[in-house]
Copies of this chain bind each other. A is one copy, B any other.
Amino acid sequence: VELVLVGDGRAIEPHLPAAAGVEVVHAPEFVPPHAPPVQAARRKDTSLARGLEILAQGKADAFLSPGNTGAVVAAALLRLGRLPGVKRPGLCASLPTLVGKEFLLIDVGATADPKPEHLVQFALMGRLYAQEVLGFSQPTVGLLSIGAEAEKGDKLMRATHALLREEEWFSGNVEPHELLTRRPVDVVVCGGVPGNLTLKALEGGAEAAWTALKGALLGSLRGKLAGWLARPALKALARSLAYDRYNGAPLLGVAGLVLVAHGRSTAGAMEGALQRTFWAAQAEIVQRLGEKLKACSK
């Protein structure tokens, strides 16, 4: 595997060991975290634009960015375009669960106002990624909604349910509170905005529980002792959940392999995202998606 780092060369070089074997491509500018995506995507001297250029030229097999997600999506659409037949791209996040196996949530923010047929494509693309990259056999798909019944949810959810109901891999509606504990399906399909809200609320709920717990234990000597005794178990738990390993969400549907990592990724989390990027490249997921969607649109 050959790595190319794209960014401010003067900032990167001092941190690279001499024998790291990592190529550095200098980019004088970068996209700030909250820059408006479309304008940011048009700028040519950013690390984002330079990185996608290398990918578009075939000098790299994949592109991974922990930067401004909206800008990555806009720039990927602008510089790579969509796969033939794909109407909208979907960002596909992996989440660890209590049953010891991850599930996919697509879309978590690439497409803000999708139509039902876009969600059907997200389902097809998510299934293929689950199968070819993660090795799930016969992946099942659920539709994110606010109740199990077909008529629950908004217009988009109801119309999508009607389109998916005949598919043998479709398991019906799923609700957010069961995703981490019960893991009802392999792939959860939704629009970019509900998907992003759900992802952030699941993370926020878990974070609030941990923070409350920590605060409660630190309030007494007995609690502190309990915390000290619990440490090995908590460390083992953190390893088993290993959020780092689930970092790296592919932007499915664009004509090139692009993954987005968490903006606050640690070194370990970037390692996890690179691992996923490597798997996806090795599985030639973009080529397979192209073939699959061509076959389905016939």
Contact = CB atoms under 8 A, between A and B. Distances in A.
Interface stretch (A54-62, A121-129, A225-233, A266-274): A225-233
Contact of A177 (B177, B204, B213, B234): B204
Interface string A180-222: 1100000000011110111111111111111111011101101
Contact of A181 (B70, B202, B207, B225): B207
A292 interface: no
Say how many copies of this protein the assembly contains. Answer: 2
Contacts of A147: 34, 70
Nearest to A202: B205
Given A112-B154, A226-B227, A219 B193 contact: no
Main secondary structure of the interface of A (DSSP, over half): helix
A28 interface: no
Interface residues of A, number: 67
A204 B230 contact: no
A220 B229 CA distance: 11
B220 A232 contact: yes
Interface in A126-169: 144, 146-149, 151-155, 157
Given A193-B146, A197-B176, A205-B206, A222 B232 contact: yes
30 contacts: A34-B148, A34-B149, A98-B211, A98-B215, A112-B155, A146-B193, A154-B191, A154-B193, A176-B201, A177-B207, A181-B204, A181-B208, A181-B211, A197-B198, A197-B201, A198-B198, A198-B201, A201-B201, A204-B205, A205-B206, A206-B208, A209-B209, A209-B210, A212-B241, A213-B234, A216-B233, A219-B233, A220-B232, A226-B233, A229-B229
